[in-house]
A and B are shown apart, each in its own frame.
Chain A
Amino acid sequence: MLDESRKILVFIMRDLRLLFSYKLAFSMNFFGIIFNLFYLILFGSMFKAGVIPALGAYGGDFISYILVGSLGWGFLWSIMTGTSSSITTEMRIGTLESILVTRTKLITLMISYALFGCFFGFISIISVLFIGYFLLGVSVFANATIYTLILFVLSATMMMGFGLIFGGLTIWLKNIGQTTPLLQNIVMFFCGVYFPVAVLPTYLQPISKYMPFYYSMEGIRQSLIPSTPTSDLLYYIVVLIFLSDLFILIGIFVLRKCLIKAKKDGTLTFY
């Protein structure tokens, strides 16, 4: 168990080394994030003078709304896609086989990918917050509390569960194509990433409640509003505890089944 935990750090170090070895791509990633920040702030500033009734429950500031959505979802998304994209790369370059013949468990590998996504997402958020605050005077998470952190951690754990599911499916099916981008579009539509659920047609709004990601986004947003009662935040925390446990268990189950299937098909290390 201890060995497996230490290996996670070994994987993260390796990923960092590989990331830094592509210097241009690494720099461009950050330029992309910063450019995105400028873009969102300029976009949001158009609505500054007007009143947006739909955002009343979130303080009415569109810039903050859109930045929380973009940063929060971007962070959670990088955890989930980290697993399937990394396992695809590993299969494509051919190193998955050499990893699997060592004493490393596949779940350790998957968790490492997700944590690297988490780490990278965290660094991105910190950079954006830093630049946003010092250059543009935008303070998105100024009202963050311990509840915000708990909700982020629980959401990240739930996304790790999704990561295990998509990682497993990638091992079995090799290329899951547009599945994750499609999921992303659905989530962005229903879960209040760029606009509140209240903007949706009334008959579509109940669908949001069946989306696990809704509780992440809504919980994080509510935790940033000082007037939100603690009982409301506890509701989101309890729901996310349940969802993170559920999806981690489903993730482990799916990963195990897909691993056995790929081993039976003899395609474990192929792409």
Chain B
Amino acid sequence: MIIIKDLTKTYKRRISRKEGKFRTINAINKINLTIKDGEILGLIGPNGAGKTTTLKILSNLILPDSGTVTLDGHNIIKKPNLIKKPDFIKNKIGLLSGEFTRSLYWRLTGLQNMIFFAKLRGMWKPQERIQELIQMFKLEAYIDEFVMKYSTGMKHKLALAIALLNDPQVLFLDEPLTGIDPFTNFELKKIIKNEFKEKTIIWASHNLYEIEEMCDRIALINNGKIVLQGEPEVLKKNYWDHTKILITTDKSQEFVSFDNVDIRGNFVEIKTNNVTRTVLEIIDLIKDKGIEITDIKTLKPSLEEIFLEGVKNAR
């Protein structure tokens, strides 16, 4: 289990060289999160929200100002230990960084890359594990080619395979499906669903559909703060207490008297807390005015709407 407590990171940026003035930027502001074993936590947020900084702190690449992160009860963000004895944490963690294609040596073959990074992880006889990963990611045909000849999707698969070399218990994935074609995207999602069942994963992305599909729980981060967190369905229920009724009709202006109505051309959108009552009112109006309806449907809130609402509320 990973427990993140009051994690804070600020940067000082000089705003006036003459006066020597600095501006403090809160990259991460007292983040608190708990990630259970085997859980996939989706960390969503707009660009610059603090997702990558959080993952880099957890991966020992950035030092936080304060706060603790424990993995199975061991504090992994303790300044002196961070420099002196990082092996414990590094053995258990795999990171797929955001700029994954840059994490590889393009002038080495896929296999040479895998062997090199396996040995750096202290795996001196990695052949069996490498073969397993080559098969898992279907890299057989290209494994002896220089990485510079790989497509982006292939590089992506190789980078993920390298992150998995030591079969880490915890995986930090930064934008893992960004910039790849739908086929590779589908393939990778399938692999993650089938093969990573027991792994604890923090999945940072701004793609809400991907997060909703892949993650057990989500945490929305904005301006370095966790704005809301929970299971997608619970969030929808808790943070979106109304339903939308969408009507398509030529006589949309007849609906202007409804509360929380938004009319755009032939489309009428009514937000309601009581669907039954509103539908009955709509039926009454249709009967009274003889309105012809082309289409009527109710819409469940999407994660995107929660995301936008969350970001808006946090500002």
Contact = CB atoms under 8 A, between A and B. Distances in A.
Interface stretch (B94-102, B187-195, B306-314): B94-102
Nearest to B27: A266
A100 interface: yes
A101 B119 contact: no
B95 A101 contact: yes
Interface string B133-177: 000000000000010000000000000001000000000000000
Interface in B62-118: 62-63, 82-83, 86-87, 90-91, 93-95, 97, 99, 102-108, 112, 116-117
Residue of B95, B97, B116 with highest tally of chain A CB at under 10 A:
B116
A266 B82 CA distance: 14
B124 interface: yes
A102 interface: yes
Contacts of A7: 119-120
A95 B113 CA distance: 11
B107 A103 contact: no
Residue of A22, A98, A263, A268 with highest tally of chain B CB at under 10 A:
A98
A18 B112 CA distance: 11
Interface string B207-237: 0000000000000000000000000000000
B120 A99 contact: yes
Interface in A41-55: none
B108 A103 contact: no
Given A17-B112, A101-B90, A102-B117, A266 B56 contact: yes
SS of A interface (majority): helix
A94 interface: yes
A21 B146 contact: yes
A269 B99 CA distance: 11
Interface residues of A, number: 29
B105 A14 contact: yes
A264 B112 CA distance: 33
B11 interface: yes
Given A18-B107, A266-B56, A100 B61 contact: yes
A12 B23 CA distance: 43
A90 to B, nearest CB: 10
B61 A97 contact: yes
Nearest to B102: A94
B60 to A, nearest CB: 7
B20 interface: no
Contacts of A104: 120
A6 B95 CA distance: 23
Contacts of B53: 266
A17 B97 contact: no
B11 A265 contact: yes
B62 to A, nearest CB: 5
Contacts of B36: none
B62 A268 contact: yes
Nearest to A256: B83
Nearest to B116: A14
A261 to B, nearest CB: 9
B114 to A, nearest CB: 12
26 contacts: A3-B122, A7-B119, A7-B120, A10-B120, A14-B112, A14-B116, A17-B112, A21-B146, A93-B105, A93-B106, A94-B99, A94-B102, A95-B103, A97-B61, A98-B103, A101-B59, A101-B60, A103-B87, A103-B90, A103-B121, A103-B122, A260-B63, A263-B61, A263-B62, A263-B63, A266-B9
Interface of B: 9, 11, 27, 53, 56, 59-63, 82-83, 86-87, 90-91, 93-95, 97, 99, 102-108, 112, 116-117, 119-122, 124, 146, 162
Given A3-B122, A102-B121, 20 more contacts: A7-B119, A7-B120, A10-B116, A14-B105, A14-B112, A18-B107, A21-B107, A21-B146, A93-B106, A94-B102, A95-B102, A95-B104, A95-B105, A101-B59, A101-B61, A101-B95, A102-B117, A256-B83, A266-B53, A266-B56
